[in-house]
Amino acid sequence: MKIAALQDESVLEGLPEPAVELKRVSRLYGSFVALREVSLRLPAGASAVLLGENGAGKSTLLKVISGLTAPSYGTVQIFGEPPQEQRGRISTMGHATMLYDDLTGMENLIYFAGLNDMGERAALEHIAAEALRAVNLDAANPRRVGEYSQGMRQRASLARALLAQPELLLLDEPFSNLDVGSAHSMIDRLLAYGSESPTRTLLLTTHQAALAQPLAQTTITMQAGSVVSVVERAGAR
Partner 1 sequence: MSYAAHVWTHLRKDLRLEWRSKDSINGMLFFSLLVVSVFAIAFDPTAFPGISRQISGGLMTVAVLFAAMTALSQSWVRETQNGVLDAHRLAPAPLSALFVGKALANFLFVSAVEVVLAPVFAVFYNLHPLGQTWKLLVILPLGTWALVVNGTFFAALSLRTRNRETLLPLVLLPISIPALLAMIQATTAVLTGEFEPTAWLKLLLAYDVVFTMASVLLFETILNAD
Query: Is there binding between residue 101 and partner 1 (CB under 8 A)?
Result: yes
Please identify, among the stretches 36-44, 112-120, 182-190, 216-224, the one whose residues bind partner 1 according to the rule CB under 8 A.
112-120
How far is it, in rounded angstroms, from Cα 3 to Cα 142?
50
Tell which one of 115, 180, 192, 209 touches partner 1 (CB under 8 A).
115
**Binding to partner 1 in span 116-175, by CB under 8 A:** 116-117, 144, 160, 164
Nearer to partner 1, 18 or 166 (CB): 166
Task: Please tell me the count of residues contacting partner 1 according to CB under 8 A.
Answer: 31
Single-letter amino acid code for the residue at 35: L
Strand 20-29 relative to strand 32-42: parallel, antiparallel, unpaired? Answer: antiparallel
Task: State which of residues 90, 137, 162, 203 lies at the interface with partner 1 (CB under 8 A).
Answer: 90
225 belongs to the binding site for partner 1 (CB under 8 A): no
3-state secondary structure the chain: CEECCCCCHHHHCCCCCCCEEEEEEEEEECCEEEEEEEEEEECCCCEEEEEECCCCCHHHHHHHHHCCCCCCEEEEEECCECHHHHECCEEEECCCCCCCCCCEHHHHHHHHHHHCCCCCHHHHHHHHHHHHHHCCCCCCCCCEHHHCCHHHHHHHHHHHHHHCCCCEEEEECCCCCCCHHHHHHHHHHHHHHHHCCCCCEEEEECCCCCCCHHHCCEEEEEECCEEEEEEECCCCC
The least distance separating partner 1 from the CB of residue 180, rounded to whole angstroms, comes to 25
Q: Is the dihedral of CA 168, 159, 62, 56 positive or negative?
A: negative
Instruction: Based on the shown chain and the rule CB under 8 A, indicate whether residue 77 belongs to the binding site for partner 1.
Output: no
Pick 87 or 133: Cβ nearer partner 1: 87
In terms of CB distance, is 112 or 175 closer to partner 1? 112
User: Least distance in Å: CB of 113 to partner 1?
Assistant: 10
Rounded least distance, CB 57 to partner 1, Å: 16
Choose the stretch contacting partner 1; rule: CB under 8 A; options: 30-38, 68-76, 130-138, 184-192: 68-76
Residue whose CB is less far from partner 1, 103 or 228:
103
Q: Is residue 112 close enough to count as binding partner 1 by CB under 8 A?
A: yes
What is the binding site for partner 1 (CB under 8 A)?
Answer: 66-70, 84, 87-88, 90-92, 94-103, 107, 111-112, 114-117, 144, 160, 164
